[in-house]
Amino acid sequence: MNREIMNIHHVGHVVTNREAAMEHYRRLGLNVHRQISGASATCGRDT
């Protein structure tokens, strides 16, 4: 899990902490409604 978290990229930033990632998305006004896994996250829309 830690390796996955360390590989998350968003808006050019490497996020190394799950809570920091969630806070980052909240600050951007995005509705993160799925668990972050791997190198991707759902940011307010279903695909």
| 14-33 residue pLDDT tens | 556 677 777 877 887 765 55
Domains identified in the chain, total number: 1
Cα gap 18→47, rounded to integer Å? 22
Backbone φ, ψ for residue 17 (5° rounding): -140, 130
Confidence band for 35, pLDDT divided at 50, 70 and 90: very low
* pLDDT number for residue 27: 80
pTM of structure: 0.30
Range of the domain at 22: 1-47
Average pLDDT, the chain: 59
